[in-house]
Structure 1
Amino acid sequence: MRGFLRFAFLRYRSLPPLVNTRVAAFEIGLCLRRMSSSNITSDSQTLQGPPDEESLLHYVPGGYHPTNLGDILDERYVIKRKLGWGQYSTVWLAEDPQSQRHVAIKILTGEATDARQLHELAFLQHLSCSHPEHPGFSRVVRLLDSFHHVGPYGSHLCIVTEVLGESVQWLSQYYRGGRFHPVVVKDIIQQVLLGLDYLHQSNIIHTDLKPDNFLIELDDVETFIQEAIDDIPPVVYPSVTNADGMVLSYVKSQPIPVRFEDVQRQAKLKVKITDLGVACWADKIDEHFTDMVQPSALRAPEVFLGAGWDSKIDIWNVGCLVHEMITGDPFLPVSLMDSEAEPSQQLTVMMIRLGPMPSDLIVRGKYSRLYFGPDGTFMSSLDYPGVPTLLQKLDSIYRERWYPEEVELFKSFMASALEMDPKDRPSAAELAEHEWFRSMFEFKKNF
Structure 2
Amino acid sequence: MSQNSELEISVGDLIPSPTTQYQAQTILGNGVYGVVIQCRNVTTDETVALKMIKSMENIDCAKEEEVTLQTMKALHSDRFNIVRFNESFTYKGHYCLVFEHLDMDLQKFKQISPGQHLQLKQIRPILQQLATSLEFLNSAGIIHADLKPDNIMLVDHVRKPLKVKVIDFGLAFDDPEEQIGDLLQPLWYRSPEVLYKEPFSGAIDVWSLGCIAAELSTGRPLFPASNENELMRQFAFAIRDPEHEGNFLPHAFWPRRWMEGRFMPG
> Please, what TM-score do these two structures have when normalized by structure 2?
0.83
Structure 1 residue 345, shift from structure 2 partner? 2.8
Distance 1:289 1:71, change over 3 A: farther
In 2: Cα distance, 1:290 partner to 1:111 partner: 27
SS across alignment from 1:307: coil
Q: Confirm whether residue 273 of structure 1 aligns to residue 166 of structure 2.
A: yes
Match runs of 1:296-445 below 5 Å: 296-332=187-223, 334=224, 336=225, 338=226, 341=227, 343-355=228-240, 390=254, 409-410=260-261, 436=264, 439=265, 441=266
Q: Confirm whether residue 98 of structure 1 aligns to residue 27 of structure 2.
A: no
Q: Report the equivalent of 1:166.
A: 104
In 1: Cα distance, 2:35 partner to 2:62 partner: 20
In 2: Cα distance, 1:117 partner to 1:146 partner: 10
Would the aligned equivalents of 1:113 and 1:156 in 2 still touch at CA under 8 Å?
no
Q: Report the equivalent of 1:35.
A: none
CA deviation string 1:95-151 (max 9, x = no partner): 223333122211112324433597211111111111x3x7x73400000111122x2
Structure 1 residue 163, shift from structure 2 partner? 0.5
Would the aligned equivalents of 1:208 and 1:278 in 2 still touch at CA under 8 Å?
yes
Q: Partner amino acid for 1:346? A: L
Match of 2:89 among 143, 147, 150: 147
Would the aligned equivalents of 1:79 and 1:92 in 2 still touch at CA under 8 Å?
no
In 2: Cα distance, 1:160 partner to 1:314 partner: 25
CA deviation string 1:401-434 (max 9, x = no partner): xxxx8x56146x6xxxxxxxxxxxxxxxxxxxxx
Would the aligned equivalents of 1:118 and 1:278 in 2 still touch at CA under 8 Å?
no
Q: Partner amino acid for 1:171? A: F
CA deviation string 1:304-342 (max 9, x = no partner): 11111110100110111111111222212x4x2x3xx2x
CA deviation string 1:250-300 (max 9, x = no partner): xxxxxxxxxxxxx3x43542000001111111xx22444962211122111
Distance 1:350 1:54, change over 3 A: farther
Structure 1 residue 211, shift from structure 2 partner? 0.7
In 2: Cα distance, 1:288 partner to 1:310 partner: 10
SS across alignment from 1:277: coil
In 2: Cα distance, 1:138 partner to 1:298 partner: 22
Match of 2:56 among 100, 111, 136: 111
Q: Which has the larger radius of gyration?
A: 1
Distance 1:167 1:157, change over 3 A: same
Distance 1:98 1:138, change over 3 A: farther
SS across alignment from 1:204: coil
Structure 1 residue 90, shift from structure 2 partner? 2.3
Match of 2:146 among 192, 197, 208: 208
In 2: Cα distance, 1:169 partner to 1:345 partner: 23
**Structure 1: tracts of 5 or more residues without a match:** 1-52, 60-64, 219-262, 357-381, 383-388, 395-404, 414-435, 442-447
Would you say how many aligned residue pairs link Structure 1 and Structure 2?
Answer: 253
Structure 1 residue 203, shift from structure 2 partner? 1.4
> Please, what TM-score do these two structures have when normalized by structure 1?
0.51
Would the aligned equivalents of 2:53 and 2:62 in 1 still touch at CA under 8 Å?
no
Would the aligned equivalents of 1:54 and 1:86 in 2 still touch at CA under 8 Å?
no
**Structure 2: tracts of 5 or more residues without a match:** 247-252
Distance 1:96 1:118, change over 3 A: closer
